[in-house]
Amino acid sequence: MSRDGVTAGSAAYAIEPRPEPRPRPKLVSDGVLGMLAFIFTEVMFFAGLVSAHAIVRSQAAGAMWPPYGQPRLPVQETAVNTAALLVSGIVLVLTWLAFRREPSSARIPLLLSILLGAIFVWFQGLEWVALLAEGLTIRSSSYGGFFYLIVGAHALHAVAALVALAWAWLRLDRKRLTATQLATVSAFWYFVVLVWPVLYVKVYL
Amino acid sequence: MSRIWIPVLALALSAALPELAHACPVCFDASDENRRAFVATTALLSLLPLGMVAGAGLWLRRRVRRTEAGGRSEPSRD
């Protein structure tokens, strides 16, 4: 057997050299793929929390929910806050469109999106302070425990995503932000925005 | 002497002494609300990961088709 062919008996068969594979274009950037994998795990994390909350709440079906003596959650105020968060997500979509046209034109919408997100986190914090003053703590009941666990976990994600968006804005300001970087941090913020209405309906209503 | 009567007798005795086993909270809970919550959350936690994987697969397939059709897979400013 030679290097370029196979000898079988007296006949020699030449092996055609294999053509070089064409380089395939990347379908998803590494950053977005990694963020999507992270978001998948976080979706399951929140699904687990919501499920546990639903079970505990159903066990109190005969009794009152919220339990007697526990303060009621501010449904209307949080609805307004939810609207601010949703608008922030919409503005981030506009940011992406503006970035694709001309990167520098995305500065204002990105800043607006960050501000709306910060308003959401700020008013959630104020709500926590008021509820703590009314006696709802993480140890006061399973109602309080689930409220602070679920809403607190979301707030933690919101703060982390806001830090990522602020980092993106600084890079954009220095003209160093790439489309991949913006898509990656945007995916994180979209997750924070889209998971909140589910949590609001399950926890507040 | 055949000992076949021993398992037959054991089977007859066990059949004569039925007892409900309330081990599964999904199937045997006194509260309808609680049972519904268990079924709903079981369905949610089972279907959600499958749905996400299927969604990601469909999204990737759409991107492949778009790329093959000559569309761009990623924005050019990278």
Give tens-digit pLDDT for A151-196.
Answer: 999 999 999 999 999 999 999 999 999 999 999 999 999 999 999 9
* Chain A with chain B: Cβ pairs closer than 8 A: 67
Residue A5, in any domain of the structure = no
Query: What pLDDT was estimated at residue B24?
Result: 63
Tell me the nearest-neighbour CA distance from A32 into chain B, angstroms.
11
Q: What is d(CA A119, CA B60) in angstroms, rounded to the nearest whole number?
A: 35
Task: Flag whether the ipTM exceeds 0.90.
Answer: no
- How confident is the prediction for chain A on average, in pLDDT? 88
Q: What is d(CA A162, CA A168) in angstroms, rounded to the nearest whole number?
A: 10
Region A38-56 average pLDDT: 93
Containing structural domain, residue A53: 29-204
Confidence at B77, pLDDT banded by 50, 70, 90: very low
Residue A2, in any domain of the structure = no
**Best mutation target, B34, B36, B38, B60, to test chain A (most A CBs within 10 A):** B34
Pair A125, A173: CB distance under 8 Å: no
Q: What is d(CA A12, CA B38) in angstroms, rounded to the nearest whole number?
A: 70
Cα angle for residues A21, A23, A29 (degrees, 5° grid): 145
Can you give the CATH number for the domain in which A200 is found?
1.20.120.80
B41/A54 Cβ within 8 A: yes
First to last CA, chain A: 77
Asked if A103 reaches chain B (Cβ–Cβ under 8 Å), the answer is: yes
Residue A51, in any domain of the structure = yes
pLDDT greater at residue A61 or residue A86: A86
Pair A91, A113: CB distance under 8 Å: yes
Asked if A179 reaches chain B (Cβ–Cβ under 8 Å), the answer is: yes
Tell me the nearest-neighbour CA distance from B19 into chain A, angstroms.
26
Predicted model pTM: 0.77
Name the one residue in this structure whose structure tokens are 């790439």. Answer: A178
Residue A163, in any domain of the structure = yes
Residue A4, in any domain of the structure = no
Q: What is d(CA B55, CA A43) in angstroms, rounded to the nearest whole number?
A: 14
Pair A92, A113: CB distance under 8 Å: yes
The encoded tokens of residue A194 equal 């889209």
Residue A149, in any domain of the structure = yes
First to last CA, chain B: 87
The encoded tokens of residue A42 equal 């976080």
Residue A69 CA, distance from chain mean position: 34
Alpha carbon separation from A103 to A69, A185, B17 (Å, rounded): 53, 16, 78
How much of chain A, in percent, has pLDDT values that exceed 90?
Answer: 63
Tell me the nearest-neighbour CA distance from B61 into chain A, angstroms.
10
Residue A143, in any domain of the structure = yes
Chain B residues within an 8 Å CB radius of A168: none
Asked if A205 reaches chain B (Cβ–Cβ under 8 Å), the answer is: no
Q: Which residues of B touch A (CB under 8 A)?
A: 31, 33-34, 36-38, 40-41, 44-45, 48-49, 52, 56, 60, 63-64, 67, 73-78
- How many CB atoms neighbour CB A39 within 10 A? 19
pLDDT for residue B48 is more than 90: yes
Q: What is d(CA A71, CA A128) in angstroms, rounded to the nearest whole number?
A: 12
φ/ψ of A12, rounded to 5, equals -115, 130
**Structural domains of chain A, count:** 1
Which candidate, A164, A139, A37, A54, places its Cα nearest to that of B53? A37
Tell me the nearest-neighbour CA distance from B11 into chain A, angstroms.
38
Give tens-digit pLDDT for A90-122.
Answer: 999 999 999 999 999 999 999 999 999 999 999
Residue A169, in any domain of the structure = yes
